[in-house]
Amino acid sequence: MKPGKGSPLPVPGLAAAMVGNQKTGVWQKDQKDLRTQEEKLDRALVTGLMLEVILETSTFPVDPQTLRHLVKTRLQDSLAVNLAGRITLDRFRRLLSQVDLWFPLYYPLITAGVPEGGALAAAHVQAAPAPAAAALPARRGLREDRLRAWLQEEGRGLLPHRPHRKLNQDRLWEFLSRTQGGWFRLLDFTRHFGVDRKTAWEYLHKFLHAGLLRHNRGRSAAVRYALETRFLMVRADALEPEVEAALAGLPPSLVAQVSGWLIATGGEAFWEKEWHGRLEPSSCRQFITRLLAAGLLSEVCQVGESRMLQIAPRWLRD
């Protein structure tokens, strides 16, 4: 048809901006525009996940600098967990590199009102210190449905019936979920609930006999308690002896810490540098090398000098 007789007038520049497929009728934007749209999508994805992580970690009783580090680490973890198998490795690496550029820009904007909350968290730490595992990034280390069911059914008879009491079901859930299956002391329990040592000891032994907790068989100041392994994502009772064998010759307290960190991951991937805040980098590399050699850890990927690691699947519950 000629222009003016039933056909639309040609639009200047349209052919240059879009390439038409005459068979399918699908129009495709030029490569430059597509790259711009992809960058916007990536930026929205990263900032959305950053907001989600900030909401998850906003109540952590840590100082602002530590919280910032934890948020960035958890953001990288979240990208890996949510995008694994859904995008190419090249795009995943590009996203990680963009995080280093975008994080300093968007973190202050998203957390504009957080300093006051951080002050409240610091006061909370001084008033009632939490177990050591509470400072770790929150992960899904617990089988929450099973633990909640136990507390609601079997745990009712072990706790005071009046909800205003210091030790109630909600506060016990909060305490246990913050340990993430790691070992804790009698002192941690007394501080969290504000009870004396005798009362704390009585409740802990009730929980031991009821099958909620396990004991490290230590004596005196070396006594530790932890959630029974049936409430954990990781088969802790099988993992701990293997970690002890892999790290033979190291102080038992340090070996127990490493086991606790692995259990707290819940089987989710984590970055090697997460351990740098707790151990010297050289010691950290030595531990990870031994754990990899023993088949306790596997390497998911490596971006630059940073490795993403994960507990081998055989240590996870079905």
Q: Are 226 and 182 in contact (CB under 8 A)?
A: yes
Residues 228, 288 within the same domain: no
pLDDT in tens, the chain (318 residues): 444 445 444 444 444 444 444 444 444 445 556 567 778 888 888 888 888 888 776 655 556 766 777 788 778 777 777 776 677 777 878 888 888 788 888 888 777 654 444 433 333 333 333 333 333 444 568 888 899 999 888 887 888 766 557 788 888 888 898 888 888 999 999 998 888 999 999 999 999 999 999 998 888 888 999 999 999 999 999 999 999 999 999 888 888 888 988 998 888 888 887 777 666 777 788 889 999 999 999 988 877 777 888 898 888 887
pLDDT of residue 60: 57
Q: Give the CATH number of the domain where residue 294 resides.
A: 1.10.10.10
Residue 8 lies in a domain: no
Please name the amino acid found at residue 160: P
pLDDT of residue 214: 94
pLDDT of residue 85: 65
Residue 188 lies in a domain: yes
Give backbone dihedrals phi and psi of 184, rounded to 5 degrees, phi first: -135, 160
- In the listed set 63, 94, 120, which residue is the last one of a domain according to the structure? 120
- In the listed set 191, 214, 232, which residue is the last one of a domain according to the structure? 232
Q: What is the mean pLDDT of the chain?
A: 76
Residue 26 lies in a domain: no
pLDDT single digits (tens) 17-57: 444 444 444 444 455 565 677 788 888 888 888 888 887 76
CA angle 182, 187, 188 (to 5 degrees): 40
Q: What is the total count of domains within the chain?
A: 3
Residues 241, 266 within the same domain: yes
pLDDT of residue 25: 45
Residues 311, 252 within the same domain: yes
Residue 24 lies in a domain: no
Residue 58 lies in a domain: yes
Question: What are the distances in angstroms from CA 243 to CA 66, 187, 189, 223, 293?
Answer: 28, 26, 26, 20, 11
- In the listed set 63, 97, 120, which residue is the last one of a domain according to the structure? 120
Residue 5 lies in a domain: no
Residues 153, 173 within the same domain: yes
Helix (H, G, I), strand (E, B) or coil at 29: strand
CA 229/CA 266 separation, integer angstroms: 12
Residues 226, 238 within the same domain: no
Q: Which domain holds residue 77?
A: 31-120
- Where b means 16+ CB within 10 Å and e means fewer, 11-35 reads eeeeeeeeeeeeeeeeeeeeeeeee
Residues 144, 103 within the same domain: no
pLDDT of residue 178: 84
The whole model's pTM is what? 0.56
Residues 224, 151 within the same domain: yes
Residues 104, 165 within the same domain: no
* Residue 269 CB contacts under 8 Å (≥ 6 apart), including other chains: 77, 80, 81, 84, 300, 308, 309, 310
Structure tokens of 49? Answer: 């996940």
Residues 138, 219 within the same domain: yes
Residues 224, 142 within the same domain: yes
Residue 7 lies in a domain: no
CA 213/CA 203 separation, integer angstroms: 11
Characterize the bridge pairing of strands 225-227 and 270-271.
Answer: unpaired
Residue 296 lies in a domain: yes
Characterize the bridge pairing of strands 270-271 and 306-311.
Answer: antiparallel
